Amino acid sequence: MSALPVETRFSLGDEITEEQQSFLDHYGFLHFESVACPEEMERITGELDRIESEWLQERRRFVHGIPLFLGRDWEGRPYVQRFAFTTRFSGWMRSFFHDARFEPVRRLVGQDARVGQDEKDGVVVNRFLNVPGSVHKRLGWHTDGLRDIFAFRMPVPQLNVGLHLDNIRAGDGGLRLLPGTHNQGFLSTCFRKLYFLYHRPDPGEFAVETKAGDLTVHDGRLWHRVARSTRKGEASLRRAIYVPYLTGPFEPKGDQSATPPYHHIGRLIRWFRGAVAAAQRRKNHQGSLEVNRHS
Ligand SMILES: O=C(O)CCC(=O)C(=O)O
Ligand SMILES: [Fe+2]
């Protein structure tokens, strides 16, 4: 039982303290302040812009079987909203996530845990945006153990480590957690909410408010969602990088790797959303032409 309130934020030291461990056991997550500095945030932003323009130029749609989320930004330009295997394309980011400061987090996952830069979806970057052309405005309720649930087994203990790139207050949308739900049974993991389709706030949810450079660790079995920002345009941007720390057999992916079934479903939904947004843009455009003609 953790004696600390749910909004407690910690500093990351050389070791995970007993207090931090009992907080994680009790609530299912941890929030560390200022783990990366502004210069590192800037460097990451620059690397993402470079990778994005390379991918757009080569018309890339997948990395190792994982689809990119391709939407439009606040000015209607093509915009990558979910990057997969990011560190395959940036030597600087690859070594950044091996930095000694992350060691206590790695050991928290397991003594033999590794950064899965080339496994699962690799290092993932989410760029949530609340603009008409966005295909990634929010994310419905889920746990991160979906792969296991598809196989009808209890999700294996797993921790998800997120580095946050923006200053986010509750009104800016962002991560909402249901503290303690990592200790639930299999039925609740499967059916507490309708996976990804249910977005309504829960009276028991906790809004994680971050500053750029903060790190969060959450148990993969914890129920969580990402709320849509109440802002519009560029001000609604929220970016988070997720680093998989893995144990078990090394299973690297390559260009022949298959696309997991749930990513196919996601692609279909994003295609539909993109088509609706494009139709809306055409309608607005025609509307403004009509107005100009009559004025
Ligand atoms: O953006 C976040 O903080 C969480 C994203 C998330 O839950 C996921 O990608 O599974
Ligand atoms: Fe998640």
Domain ranges of the chain: 18-250+259-294
**Cα–Cα distance measured from residue 262 to residue 215, given in angstroms and rounded to the nearest whole number:** 27
Q: Which residue has a Cα nearest atom 8 of ligand 1?
A: 144
Long-range Cβ contact pairs of 146-155 (< 8 A, separation 24 or more) = 146/195, 146/262, 147/260, 149/189, 149/190, 150/261, 150/262, 154/186, 154/189, 155/189, 155/220, 155/221
Per-residue pLDDT of the chain (295 residues; tens, 9 = 90+): 678 999 999 999 999 999 999 999 999 999 999 999 999 999 999 999 999 999 999 999 999 999 999 999 999 999 999 999 999 999 999 999 999 999 999 999 999 999 999 999 999 999 999 999 999 999 999 998 776 666 566 666 689 999 999 999 999 999 999 999 999 888 888 889 998 889 999 999 999 999 999 999 999 999 999 999 999 999 999 999 999 998 888 999 999 999 988 888 888 888 887 888 888 888 888 887 777 777 6
pLDDT at 151: 59
Q: Which residue has a Cα nearest atom 1 of ligand 1?
A: 240
Asked if 69 contacts 45 with a C-beta cutoff of 8 angstroms, the reply is no
**Cα–Cα distance measured from residue 35 to residue 15, given in angstroms and rounded to the nearest whole number:** 14
Superfamily of domain 18-250+259-294: q2cbj1_9rhob like domain (2.60.120.620)
Atom of ligand 1 nearest to the CA of 225: 7
Residues 6+ away with beta carbon under 8 Å from 278: none
pLDDT at 147: 63
How far away, in angstroms, is 29 Cα from ligand 1 center?
13
Ligand index nearest the alpha carbon of residue 208: 1
How far away, in angstroms, is 203 Cα from ligand 1 center?
20
How far away, in angstroms, is 76 Cα from ligand 1 center?
24
Pocket of ligand 1 (CB under 6 A): 126, 139, 144, 162, 175, 224, 226, 240, 242
How far away, in angstroms, is 278 Cα from ligand 2 center?
28
| Residue of 136, 224, 228 with the most ligand 1 atoms within 8 Å of its CB, for mutation | 224
Ligand index nearest the alpha carbon of residue 216: 1
Neighbours of 222 (CB within 10 A): 24
Atom of ligand 1 nearest to the CA of 162: 3
